[in-house]
Amino acid sequence: MTRKNKTIGVLALQGDFERHEHQLRLAGARPKQVRLAEDLSDLDGLIIPGGESTTMNYLIDRFDMRRPLIEFADDKPIWGTCAGMIMLANKIENNQAGIEPLRLMDIDVVRNGYGRQIFSFTDTITVTLNGASLHLETTFIRAPRIIRCGSEVEALAVYKDSPVLVRQGRLLAGSFHAELDDDTRLLEYFLEDFFEQKRS
């Protein structure tokens, strides 16, 4: 299946899901907004966007999306960015907000691990995809920091000694926002490389 034949859902409860839709169209895929469990049907994959993780956590439960999202991950790819990474994580350190992650990836994270909104920044990181390195301009906005990776988690990019892009089977998670410009190389990697294997 080519990426032009894929329908990729974007969880549209909260956050800048429209930027992900824009990038999906640029890459030739069909985006679909996901707000209810039935919206997950007939999707090839899903993106959980950045946003405010406490609000996202509340709305996932408000709209009875938790179990459907966990079941979706059994055999479909998911990419979580920023707050999406927080929701995919196994554990949130110092979780004073009481967020209940989906526990799909064997990673532990700290919310706002790179500073709060006022400390947002853009930097270039080196990403290794299928043995090839590429330089990617990335934006960190209240970004989570990974403090532990399980043995089945592969670090694809590291920033200041911490993984910022990780893969576990059909799951991809990034601390940063890759959707804010028209560079679709990371999205194309997700669309082309995550649809032929089972999740670890």
The answer as to whether 200 is a domain residue is no
CATH number where 185 lies: 3.40.50.880
Give the chain's domain count: 1
Active site residue 179: yes
pLDDT in tens, 108-135: 999 876 766 666 778 999 999 988 999 9
pLDDT in tens, 32-69: 999 999 999 999 999 999 989 999 999 999 999 999 99
The answer as to whether 184 is a domain residue is yes
The answer as to whether 37 is a domain residue is yes
Q: How far apart are CA 175 and CA 88, in angstroms?
A: 12
The answer as to whether 199 is a domain residue is no
Q: Specify the 3-state DSSP secondary structure of 58.
A: helix
- Looking at residue 72, the DSSP 8-state letter turns out to be H
Active site residue 135: no
The answer as to whether 28 is a domain residue is yes
- Domain residues for the domain of 97 are 3-193
Strands in 105-170 per DSSP E: 107-110, 121-129, 132-140, 145-149, 154-159, 162-168
Which residue in the list 18, 82, 100, 196 is annotated as catalytic? 82
